[in-house]
Amino acid sequence: MNGKKIKKKGTPFFNVLLVTKFYPPSIGGIETAVQQYARWYQAMGFRVQVLCCANERCMRTSMEEIEGIRIIRCASLGNILSTPASLHFFLHFFRLAHRADIVHINLQFPWASMAASLPLSRIRGRLIVTYHSDVFRQRKLKHITYIFDRNVIRKADTVITGSLALQKSSEVLSSIPRSMDVLPFAMDLDFVEREKRAYACSENHRKIFLPENFIRDGYYVFFGRLVAYKGTRVMEEAFRMLAEQGTPINLIVFGNGPERYRFIRLAKEFGKNILFFDSTLPHGSKYHLLAHARALLFPSEFPSEAFGIAQLDAMAVEKAIINTKLGTGVNWVAPDRLCAITLEAGNPSMLASTLLECEAGKHDLEKLGKAGKKRVQELFSEQSVGQQFARIVRRR
């Protein structure tokens, strides 16, 4: 703890400042994980503030309280290279960081590591850093941002990462000889079952009715942020290839992001087999579509995909996963031939041929799905991971 004073165990209302780039309702694995952290801190008796940025151009900082958690969304001029342009973030960080008993920073977020590295931060309490992923696309700029990332990781009292695979493969983490805690993302399995039951009992106008050929022939699902590293190009090319060679396969995609144009184009050209929802869907609808799919597609191309929380959604409803070999936590979450079919990243032809093999019954998707459900119960349940989190936070 580097000699920093922390209140005695049992003292109520520790002040926790959770720092992250974006926060729900923004979608993404990190956003989901940070929301879980906030709830776990709150359950432990902490007073929680979340400091984040608006996920699009917004000229005013907003403050709101949701379920007892105070959320400060800093004004932003918009996103540049996936990072919010926000001077307000620094102002609020410097104002709040020195008052907190725990400052918990979630990376990648270059402004957070930069702010924490500056003397103005005046962090007096415990510093916890969760490192979620490396940077991939900004190949030159990252050499500058990594200076601040490494600095804040060295000075942190506790460092958390999502998997041992990420710790070993990360350009940042692997270069720093220090102890780190592995804490995976978690899945609330009771919540999944409640949402499935609620959807089944909901009125018809709230349900999604699929075309007859989707019900008859089955379909595959992809959902989440529609960004390049998720393998959007690979999916577009694979399904175009299948349609043009006369072996179309049904696909449902839902989500939003800069790559949505690919699926708008696919749905326009091959509307009989491509169903695209240009938005996120309610949890009940998501789990309903997953539960009746043949498999989840998770064809990420780059190691910036460090964990893949969508895989946990699929595993929770006993669905097989088609993922890619990235050398990150993705392949630890859903190992090849245990609960996933793992392909070479960035290979549309391999994805297309694997889908045809699945359609021909050459892969036991049901067996993979059942193994996935068992794995998520044993390793990734919210109760188990939440207890691990509490032990890490309480450790002196």
- For residue range 141-174, list pLDDT tens digits in order: 788 889 999 999 999 999 999 999 889 989 899 9
Out of 2.40.110.10, 3.60.15.10, 3.40.50.2300, 3.40.50.2000, select the CATH number for domain 189-379: 3.40.50.2000
Between the alpha carbon of residue 155 and those of residues 17, 23, 123, 140, the distances in Å are: 17, 25, 11, 25
Pairing of strands 274-277, 102-107: unpaired
Binning pLDDT at 50, 70 and 90, where does residue 11 land? very low
HSE of 18, CA atoms in CB hemisphere, 13 A: 24
> How far apart are alpha carbons 35 and 23 in whole angstroms?
7
Residue 1 has pLDDT above 50, yes or no: no
> How far apart are alpha carbons 61 and 93 in whole angstroms?
13
pLDDT value of residue 207: 83
Q: At what angle do helices 283-291 and 309-316 cross, to 10 degrees?
A: 70
**DSSP per residue, 342-369:** EE-TT-HHHHHHHHHHHHTT-S-HHHHH
- E strands, the chain, in order: 15-19, 47-53, 62-66, 69-74, 79-80, 83-84, 102-107, 126-131, 158-161, 181-182, 220-223, 251-254, 274-277, 295-298, 320-324, 340-343
pLDDT value of residue 392: 96
Residue 23 has pLDDT above 70, yes or no: yes
What mean pLDDT, rounded, does the chain reach? Answer: 92
Output the six-digit token pair for 284: 């009940």
Residue given tokens 């710790």 in the structure block: 167
pLDDT value of residue 134: 84
Residue 8 has pLDDT above 50, yes or no: no
pLDDT value of residue 13: 58
- Given this structure, which CATH class describes domain 15-185+382-394? alpha beta
Q: Which helix (H) or strand (E) holds 236?
A: helix 232-244
> How far apart are alpha carbons 101 and 86 in whole angstroms?
25
Domain positions in the chain: 15-185+382-394, 189-379
> How far apart are alpha carbons 217 and 102 in whole angstroms?
53
Q: Are 85 and 2 in contact (CB under 8 A)?
A: no
Ramachandran category for residue 361: left, alpha or beta (phi over 0 → left; psi -120 to 50 → alpha): left
User: Considering only 165-169, 241-245, 330-334, 366-370, which range has the smallest mean pLDDT?
Assistant: 165-169
* pTM of the predicted protein model: 0.85
What tens digit of pLDDT does each residue of 50-83 get?
A: 999 998 898 999 999 998 999 999 999 988 877 8
pLDDT value of residue 119: 84
pLDDT value of residue 2: 47
> How far apart are alpha carbons 6 and 123 in whole angstroms?
12
Question: Do the domains at 15-185+382-394 and 189-379 have one common CATH topology?
Answer: yes
Q: Could you tell me which residues come within 8 angstroms of residue 3 by beta carbon, excluding any fewer than 6 positions away?
A: none
Binning pLDDT at 50, 70 and 90, where does residue 297 land? very high
